Structure 1
Amino acid sequence: MVAEPNNWGRFGPADQRGTLNLLTPGRVLAALATARTGEIVSLAAPIGRNAPHLRGRPSPQHFMSIDGADFAAGTRPVGAGLRMADDALIVSAHGTTTHMDALCHMWSGDELYNGHPASEVHSYGAKRCGIDQVGGLVARAVFYDLPSHRHVDHLPAGHRVLPEELAEISEIGPGDVAVIRTGWPRVWQEAPERYAAPQPGLSAAAGRWLAERDVAAVACDNAAIGGLNERGLADEPVEDDLHLILLHRHGIHLLEMLWLEDLVAPSPGEFLFVAAPLRLSGGTASPVTPLAIL
């Protein structure tokens, strides 16, 4: 691990939740006060073949296992005429929908966050730092609407957000969630072939700025928190990779590919943020539907 400030050992040698430990009952109750109108806004992108996704990741597969056409073709109703519809969903945890990364998702060397052995990540899942360790996330969120701040529809593909840009919009404190809008999902609507790469994102300096402020999580509407180059890869040196800075060193969970366009008009400076991943044993990530309660 790079010798820089980190949270290894801070919450105990067995810790697998990182800065989610900062969400004490008192902080959660204080966060409830940020909801003022009671309006609920979903921050999840739609799941489907025509929704934003990265190249090389399988598109979500949604199909019906039984539907109205089956009964029209002669399937016998259940019991006294009861008919039903049922469906199935196959979705990649990363790169195809709004999701939350587990602390086991990325690491360097032979150790996960907090020194847990990387050998504990097996073909059937992670025995340490999996998404099943998260539980629920209820916190005060600070909204960094960078395109509106710059009076543009979306950030340019090569833009890397600096800490000074975040500080111009708002400060943030321990246990908060940083919700960062780049506007990049608009590119999918305009020209899907341009969406995957390159993409704008946080700079390494901005990631460290957020880590220094003890945020509980970082949520962004792009695909990788940091920026992507033309090949769809992070374009910073390995030691400056945002996943290593935030997930691996500081235990800060990441939420990616949010849909934040519906927050532009109400433009809340802060709001109540609620999200819960699937309780997927040993999962490296999970689809989520984050909610903003204004």
Structure 2
Amino acid sequence: MLPMERATVALMLLVGLPLAAQAPKGWQKGKGWGWIWGPNDEVGALNAIAGPEHVLRALGEIKTGRVYDLGVRIDHRSFKWPGHAPLVMMTFRSPDGVRRQQDPPAFTASKRQVAFHSCALFTSDNLGTQIDSLGHIVTGEDNHWYNGFKEADFGGDFGLRKTDADTIPPIIARAVMVDVAGLKGVEALPANYPISPKDIEAALARQKTDIEPGDVVLIRTGTCRFWGETGADHAKLAQHDSAGITLETARWLVEQKAAVMIGSDTTGLEVGRDPAVPDAAIPVHVYLLVEQGVHIGELHNLEELARDKVWRFTYIAVTNRFKGATAGFALRPLAIR
């Protein structure tokens, strides 16, 4: 950034002018983002909010210091999308085993009776609160994903070699929560409810807020109301989990509102069956991840935000650094108001 640009940003922050009221770099109204960041890019639309000026803009949303934990608690019983493996957690080492088997020797030789616990995990990288990497979904006969990366070139036995979850940068962004369940006056939206742009606009009007360019958008269906301790009530959760946004809504959020990430409180964000594209599988995932480079957030618990009527906040998420993973999983994103 040039000195004059830095001075302009500082002045805007000082007097409270909306830094991102103008179109973000690279975004075009009616087109969105797309593959605009160079042939080797693995970050996508989040490039638009990189830099200290955007972090300061995001932190400007904090007024009270109240922190909301958006992560869900998980265990081996937790509800998940059927295409993903469950969590299997086993005690690998226990105090009783360490002492009985006298292994490791350093512990059994100790006169202070010291031992330890250690667990082994087998799990999907798409479990619990998560952010999909841009390589999560492939399309076409060549199995390509964002930015034209192909399975033949960058697939492998040990995970993705391009746009894996490790490439998702730390996210510190302004965010808006859109309470569609609250708009409809229901605990949770019914199965396969298609959330339209009109629903989003009506919810925003009810909340007296709006989506600004460069925002993270989180949409509440009410599904997480039934998560409970660890999401064990699969039947109840399944009744509502298929509610979500349509392809039209995804396009509107990206091409008209310049959202850099879109998430919800369900396992898949999008409606189970989009009436406008009945022959397409997961069209919203294909559009956002592959075509636009917009990350998807899933299973974000928005219940406390809805209870306290918190519509705008600072969103912070840092994904775990598993090289090759298709999503940052078992996360605890924060909303700070």
Q: Which residue of 2 aligns with 1:105?
A: 136
Q: Note the 1:144-183 alignment, pairs <5 A.
A: 144-168=178-202, 169=204, 170-183=209-222
2:85 equivalent in structure 1? 58
TM-score of the pair, normalised by structure 2: 0.77
* Map of 2:248 onto structure 1: 205
Structure 2 match to 1:258: 300
1:126 matched to 2:126? The reply is no
Point out the structure with the larger helix share. Answer: 2
* 1: CA distance, partners of 2:156 / 2:278: 28
The one-letter code matched in structure 2 to 1:55 is P
Q: Pick from 215, 221, 225: which aligns with 2:265?
A: 221
Match of 1:11 among 31, 34, 37: 37
Q: Secondary structure at the match of 1:22?
A: helix
2:147 & 2:33 partners in 1: Cα distance? 7
> Which one-letter code corresponds to 1:184 in the other structure?
T
Q: 1:211 to 1:237 in 2, by over 3 A?
A: farther
Q: Deviations over 1:212-268 (max 9, x none)?
A: 122121121111111225xxxx97443870001111111000111222222222221
CA offset at residue 78 of structure 1? 6.4
Unaligned runs of 5+ in 1: none
Q: Deviations over 1:39-59 (max 9, x none)?
A: 222111111123222335332
CA, structure 1 residues 62+103, in 2 after alignment: closer, same or farther (shift >3 Å)? same
Are residues 125 and 191 of structure 1, via their aligned partners in 2, closer, same or farther at CA, if it must alter by over 3 Å? closer
Runs of 4 or more consecutive aligned structure 1 residues displaced over 4 Å after TM superposition? 71-78, 187-191
- Return the letter of the residue paired with 1:262: E
Number of matched residues? Answer: 286
CA deviation digits over 1:148-193, x for unaligned, max 9? 1221100111211011111221421222110111111334559522
**2:59 and 2:94 mapped to 1: Cα distance?**
41
Q: Give the partner amino acid of 2:137.
A: M
- Aligned partner of 1:87 in structure 2 is 119
In 2 relative to 1, CA 195–265 (structure 1 residues): closer, same or farther, beyond 3 Å?
Answer: closer
Q: CA deviation at 1:125?
A: 1.7
Indicate how the Cα distance of structure 1 residues 131 and 77 shifts in structure 2: closer, same or farther if over 3 A, else same.
Answer: same
Query: TM-score scaled by structure 1?
Result: 0.88
Segments of 5+ residues of structure 2 without an aligned counterpart are: 1-29
Residue 195 (structure 1) shift: 2.8
One-letter amino acid of the structure 1 residue matched with residue 167 of structure 2:
Q
Q: Aligned to 1:264, what secondary structure does the other structure show?
A: helix
**CA separation in 2, counterparts of 1:80 and 1:138?**
48
Judged with a 3 Å threshold, the aligned counterparts in structure 2 of structure 1 residues 163 and 240 are, in CA distance, closer, same or farther, namely farther
What is the CA–CA distance in structure 1 between the aligned matches of 2:175 and 2:181, rounded to whole Å? 18
Q: Distance in 2 between matches of 1:237 and 1:59?
A: 29
* Higher strand proportion (structure 1 or 2): 1
Coordinate RMSD, CA, aligned: 2.5
